[in-house]
Amino acid sequence: MSEYFKPLPKPTPTSRPFWEAAKRHELTIQRCGACKSFVYYPRDRCPKCFSDQLSWQRVSGRGKLYSYTVVRRASARSFADGPYVLGIVELDEGPRMTTNIVAAPEKVRVEMPVEVYFDDVTPDRTLVKFKPA
């Protein structure tokens, strides 16, 4: 595997279960026991009702592309290696996630159905990306 130069997530005590699940190729996010909201990114309290009754739940990995851009000229040098598709996926369970769409840019459309794609970018880290469903 060639060396990976892009920024990698540094899991925190709050987020570690998310990244560990991703490494197992499972998408798990938090759900609030009080207001039943799904929560992304991981929190210590529910951002809606402020309850601390958050637990982890595996979700479908399906959603739709809320919006996207094709970054042709990146602001960061680590992403200067070519165009990439940055997107916001709205999961079927509700929350939105920043992600990459693994597809040719010309095939990407707002509102297209997508499904999760686990990208093992290094032996230790798996990023949660999406591809056309």
C-beta of 115 vs 127, nearer to other proteins: 127
Closest by Cα among 117, 96, 125 to 10: 125
Yes or no: say if 90 and 64 are a contact pair by the CB < 8 Å rule.
Answer: yes
Q: How far is the CB of 100 from other proteins (least distance, A)?
A: 5
Q: How far is the CB of 17 from other proteins (least distance, A)?
A: 13
C-beta of 17 vs 105, nearer to other proteins: 105
Number of other residues whose CB lies within 10 A of the CB of residue 100: 19
Yes or no: say if 64 and 114 are a contact pair by the CB < 8 Å rule.
Answer: yes
Q: Among 23, 64, 86, 132, which residue interacts with other proteins (rule: CB under 8 A)? A: 86
C-beta of 73 vs 123, nearer to other proteins: 73
Yes or no: say if 47 and 81 are a contact pair by the CB < 8 Å rule.
Answer: no
**Using CB under 8 A as the criterion, which residues of the chain lie in contact with other proteins when the complex forms?**
6-12, 15, 41, 66-76, 79, 84, 86-88, 96-100, 105, 110-111, 127, 129
